[in-house]
C-alpha cells in the first residue's frame, strides 16, 4: 500500500454513487485521501443517491448552484478548489473522479507541479483527459461496485403475484337460480369462461415464476463464476487484450529489452505507465501485470532467481507471438 497524501475530488454531476466503493479501494492502494470532496448542485434530485455515501465514506459535499442553464458551474468550482489545494504543498497526488474532458488542463497543471494524477472515469472518457493522467482507471474494472437501490425490490413471489390478473368477481348468490333459462345459461357460460381464464392466468404465473427463478439463479451463478469485464479501451474485446493493447504491450517490451531480447517486467510496467496511463492490469481484470503478460499470448515469462537478490520477472516476445491471444476470464 502506498503512503502518499492524496486529495480526492469528485465531479458529482457526472459520477454515479455506485462506483465509490471501488474507487476508494483503488485509491487506498496508492495512499491516504485526507481530503475527500464532491461537487454538485445538491438541490437537484440526481444527487440523492450520494447522500448516504457521504456519511459512510466521510466525503465532504460542496454546494455549487448552476448559474445558467446549459453551463456546468460544478467544473469551475472543482478546478478552483484543486488549485487552492495544490498550492498548499500538503499533497503528493490528486485523484480526479470524472469522465469530463474539461479537467484535462487541470490534470496537466498538477503534473507540471510534480504531483501524481490518478484519474477515474467511464469507458467513454475522452482520450485527452486519460492521457493527461499518470494512471487512469475505468469504473467497470474496479474491485467493487455497490448498487444504489432507492426502494427494495419485491420478492420474486410478490412480483409474480402483482403480474397475475385479479380474479373476476363471483356472480351474486342465487343469480343463476332466479334468472330465466336463457339468462341462467349465459351466467353459467360466463362463470365457466372466468374459471378457464383464471386457470390459464395461474398457469402463466407459475411458468413465469419458474422462468424468473431459473434466470435469476443462472445470472447469479455466471456473475460469481465468470464476472463480465467490460473493455477498458475503445475497441477492446470483452475478456481479452485487443489488437491495440497487444501493440502497446509489444512496443513496451521492445523498448525495454536488452541485447538478448529480454526485458525486466518492472521496467515494462513503468514504460506503460508513461506511454498509456489506462493500460494497467486492473483495467483488464488482473491484479498484477505478470498475470496479464502470461495471458497475452505474445510473451514468454520467466522468473529469474539471483541470490541473494529477490527473484526478477523477465519477459521476451514469444516466437509464436503472431498467434491470436489466449482468452481469459
| pLDDT tens for each residue of 254-263 | 989 998 889 9
Provide φ and ψ at 263, rounded to 5°. Answer: -135, 140
pLDDT at 227 over 60: no
Is the predicted pLDDT of residue 89 greater than 70, yes or no? yes
For residue 308, the surrounding DSSP H or E stretch is none
Q: Is the pLDDT of residue 328 over 50?
A: no
The continuous run of DSSP H or E covering 40 comes out as strand 31-40
Cell of 197: 381464464
- Comparing C-alpha atoms, which of 106, 153, 101, 110 is closest to residue 128? 101
Geometric angle at alpha carbon 220, from 215 and 225, rounded to 5°: 125
Residue 124 has pLDDT above 90, yes or no: yes
Question: Does pTM top 0.85 for this prediction?
Answer: no
Q: Which of 94, 108, 118, 116 is nearest to 34 (CA)?
A: 94
Is 90 exceeded by the pLDDT of residue 197?
no
Peptide bond connecting 308 to the previous residue in cis, omega within 30 degrees of 0 = yes
Q: How far apart are CA 278 and CA 320, in angstroms?
A: 26
Rounded to an integer, the average pLDDT of 31-57 is 91
Amino acid at each position: 500500500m502506498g503512503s502518499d497524501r492524496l486529495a480526492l475530488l469528485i465531479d458529482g454531476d457526472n459520477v454515479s454513487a455506485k462506483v465509490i466503493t471501488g474507487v476508494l479501494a483503488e485509491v487506498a492502494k496508492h495512499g491516504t485521501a485526507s481530503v475527500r470532496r464532491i461537487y454538485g448542485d445538491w438541490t437537484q434530485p440526481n444527487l440523492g443517491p450520494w447522500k448516504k455515501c457521504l456519511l459512510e465514506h466521510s466525503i465532504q459535499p460542496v454546494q455549487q448552484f448552476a448559474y445558467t442553464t446549459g453551463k456546468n458551474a460544478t467544473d469551475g468550482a472543482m478546478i478552483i478548489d484543486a488549485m487552492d489545494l495544490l498550492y498548499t504543498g500538503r499533497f503528493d497526488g490528486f485523484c480526479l473522479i470524472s469522465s469530463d474532458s474539461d479537467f484535462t488542463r487541470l490534470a496537466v497543471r498538477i503534473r507540471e507541479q510534480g504531483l501524481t494524477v490518478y484519474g477515474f472515469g467511464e469507458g467513454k472518457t475522452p482520450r485527452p483527459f486519460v492521457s493527461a493522467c499518470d494512471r487512469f482507471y475505468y469504473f467497470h474494472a474496479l474491485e467493487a461496485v455497490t448498487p444504489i437501490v432507492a426502494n427494495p425490490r419485491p420478492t420474486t413471489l410478490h412480483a409474480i403475484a402483482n403480474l397475475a390478473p385479479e380474479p373476476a368477481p363471483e356472480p351474486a348468490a342465487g343469480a343463476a337460480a332466479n334468472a330465466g333459462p336463457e339468462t341462467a345459461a349465459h351466467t353459467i357460460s360466463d362463470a365457466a369462461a372466468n374459471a378457464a381464464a383464471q386457470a390459464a392466468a395461474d398457469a402463466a404465473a407459475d411458468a413465469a415464476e419458474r422462468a424468473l427463478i431459473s434466470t435469476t439463479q443462472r445470472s447469479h451463478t455466471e456473475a460469481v463464476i465468470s464476472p463480465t469485464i467490460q473493455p477498458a479501451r475503445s475497441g477492446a474485446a470483452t475478456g481479452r487484450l485487443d489488437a491495440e493493447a497487444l501493440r502497446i504491450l509489444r512496443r513496451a517490451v521492445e523498448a525495454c529489452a536488452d541485447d538478448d531480447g529480454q526485458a525486466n517486467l518492472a521496467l515494462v510496467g513503468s514504460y506503460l505507465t508513461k506511454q498509456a496511463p489506462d493500460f494497467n492490469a486492473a483495467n483488464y481484470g488482473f491484479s498484477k501485470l505478470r498475470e496479464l503478460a502470461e495471458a497475452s499470448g505474445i510473451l514468454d515469462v520467466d522468473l529469474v532467481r539471483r541470490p541473494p537478490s529477490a527473484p526478477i520477472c523477465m519477459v521476451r516476445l514469444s516466437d509464436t507471438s503472431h498467434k491470436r491471444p489466449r482468452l481469459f476470464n
